[in-house]
Amino acid sequence: MKLVIAEKPSVAQTIAAVLGISNTKSGYIEGNEYLVSWCFGHLIGLAPPNFYDAKYADKQWKFEDLPIMPSQWKFVVNQATKSQYELLKSLMFRNDVTEIICATDAGREGECIFRYVYNLANCHKPVKRLWTSSLEAVAIKQGFAELKDDSCYDNLFAAGLARAKADWLVGMNGSRLFSIRYKTNISIGRVQTPTLAMIVDRNYKVTNFIKEKYYQIGLNCGNGLIVGSERIDDESMANNLLTLCNGKPAVVTDVKKEIKTTNPPKLYDLTTLQREANRQFGYTAQQTLDYTQALYEAKLVTYPRTDSQYITDDMEQTAINMVQVVRQCFPTFISSDVNFVPNVQRCINNAKVSDHHAIIPTAEIQKINLAELPTCQRNILALVSAKLLLATGEPHKYEAVKIVVTCQNHDFHANGKTIIDIGFKAFEKQIMSQLKGKNADKDNEKNNDKALPEVNIGESYPMVSSFKVERYTAPPKQYTEDTLLSAMEIAGNSDYDEDSEIEKKGLGTPATRAGIIENLIKKEYIKRDGKKLLPTEKGKSLIAVVPEEVKSPKMTADWETTLQNIEKESASDIDFIDSINNFVLQLIQKYGTVDTASGFDFSREAVGKCPKCGKKVMEFPKSYSCESGKNGCGFVIWKNMCGKSITSTQATKLLSKGKSDLIKGLKNKAGKEFDAYLVLKSDYSIGFDFPKTKKAYSKRR
């Protein structure tokens, strides 16, 4: 008898169906010489400090109890799922079980989930590894035909365990150290704190940005040619140039033409999918991961937690077939008059695929009614399917033209382009409009240079007219989940080489970044304001006092590279943990005293004045409430109303003006959408005011 252990019940059921067994027992499925059972994610984790010494349970943390560095690491069973662990342990030790098959998710975390259970149970039976990037029947059958000894994945487990230990060491010691130092509860994380530092830094640059006016002088040469000067900061110099050139002759002094190519986009890895889903649909990184995981478990897409944007050469025919399946399932993506011959070779790069290939749809999509999928899942499936078509398109080729016109010894220029081969852009705009994302058209309009008139060097214009344009420097933009994920991916790695041996540095991994963002929100260090991710006062205060060593993105990115190297057996997990221990010791030696001069402020953020009692209305995880608390006046604005998140900006306007801006997409109990303003009623409750339009009235009814 062979015992198969999956990561979730749904995956176990899929595997059992492929193995042709359906005899369901309590917590497992049996038949055909197989037992198939499951975990519920992490059944076991690293034990907290109080498991090593009772003194660590003391709520009054002390400097003298640091550092906490286990010589022998302990593990603890999650009490909520303890019964499933006990069941797995009993199945492992059944006399008729001769082999165990690890079928948890094929990645670093999946390997840890299984081995924690196996090791804590002290089981020594032989283990094979099921490694598959799809839950399609054909992929599972192939995986069972190609089982390897689980020892082949020892380095993967070593990297996963080293990551868990490093997070524990930095988190447990760092949180205690700085909580004692600043006499308030502080949460420090190996990846969490550098990520927060990036958000705080960006917010500072935005809020302290001072816009600067500058000028450009343009010349209308006639015949459709308009050229412009470089940026001019001094208005008097701009006015002088304006006067100098107006009505004067000009001549073409240079024409540069260069053939350029825009390659089709790559396939999705998890991070690029999360970024685009945020950009197009406003989904959070965690939502996109959840929706894609659901599609994976429904066998509609391949494994989501991948960091590769390529497929391997043995998948060439599969990809060719899938292009045709996608065209059948999404017939409006490419018009019948477009000559589209997919080039799958563009998506193949064996060297860029480590554990899992890029996310692509599976042939199962042709067996379902796509309209019956939940909207969010259907949107993600459409993105993944569309990307396969775009990635297999031909390059977009154009001639870039730069014209230089000289007038009164000053150069003016114009840039344009002429399309030579439209390539994948013949259907890109149509596909993006089909996805119905709010920013689809905006993304496609970027860099849309127009063709310039044909001119030659020496061509002259007897009298040009000049004009002045005033412009302002633009501030950087606050992070969204799209741009933050991008920044996290290359943090500490600005010189990232596309052809380097290591795929990417960065903060966290594709599988963990969404959780990091959600944890920062849960701990009230950052908040969402529409798509923006903004630091709270609490978050800004934290970053203001913690030292550079704790918040350095580069250091954390270097650690992540080491973890990748541990997977590749080119670095030692023992040496890595030793370096983390030394890092923690240095922190304690340097910052192991109370700091009373920092002015550390851990107060909540006020969004306005309470209309009921006049005190401050503070931001809490689920509401904007009066600081007087439950026993006070009781004024509250709930953060989630009719399915929409109420931002702090809207709450502030409601409190100051008595009415918010128009909020679109609210939902009534029947699930129908409507638009309305939030208004402050005379009894201090929150009501709706509907726009005076027939459309709004019909929605209201």
Which run of H or of E encompasses 104? none
Helix pair angle (553-567, 192-207), 10° resolution: 140
Per the CB < 8 A criterion, the answer to whether 312 and 348 are in contact is yes
Q: Check: CB of residue 566 under 8 Å from CB of residue 158.
A: yes
On whether the CB atoms of residues 511 and 270 are closer than 8 A, the answer is: yes
Taking CA atoms, 662 is separated from 439, 460, 640, 675, 676, in Å, by: 20, 55, 15, 7, 6
Q: Work out the number of other CB atoms within 10 angstroms of the CB of residue 613.
A: 15
> What count of Cα atoms within 13 Å lies in the side-chain half-sphere of residue 381?
29
Instruction: List, in sequence order, the alpha helices (H) in 621-666.
Output: 648-657
Q: By the 8 A CB rule, do 358 and 309 touch?
A: yes
CA distances from 619 to 195, 451, 523, 646, 680 (A): 22, 52, 13, 11, 17
CB 34 within 8 A of CB 4: yes
Residue 486: HSE in the Cβ half-sphere, 13 Å Cα cutoff: 9
Please tell me the distance from the alpha carbon of residue 157 to that of residue 174, in angstroms, as a whole number: 25
Comparing CA positions, the residue from 275, 294, 293 lying closest to residue 285 is 275
**HEC string for 674-687:** EEEEEEECCCCCEE
Which helix (H) or strand (E) segment is 319 a member of? Answer: helix 316-329
**What CA–CA distance (Å, rounded) separates 50 from 176?**
13
28 is catalytic: no
Q: Is 407 helix (H, G, I), strand (E, B) or coil?
A: strand
As given in the structure block, the two tokens for residue 290 are 């959840």
Q: How far is CA 320 from the centre of its chain?
A: 29
Are the C-beta atoms of 700 and 668 separated by less than 8 Å? no
What DSSP line would sit under 238-263, residue for residue?
A: HHHHHHHHTT--EEEEEEEEEEEEEP
Separation between Cα atoms, residue 588 and residue 585, nearest integer Å:
5
Amino acid (1-letter code) at residue 442: K
The catalytic residue among 303, 310, 525, 677 is 303
In the DSSP assignment, the letter for residue 7 is S
AA letter at 212: E
Ramachandran region, residue 243 (left: φ > 0; alpha: ψ -120 to 50; beta: rest): alpha
Q: Which amino acid is at 115?
A: R
What is the gyration radius of the CA atoms in the chain, in angstroms? 30
How many angstroms separate the CA atoms of 310 and 582, rounded?
Answer: 38
Annotated catalytic residues are 303
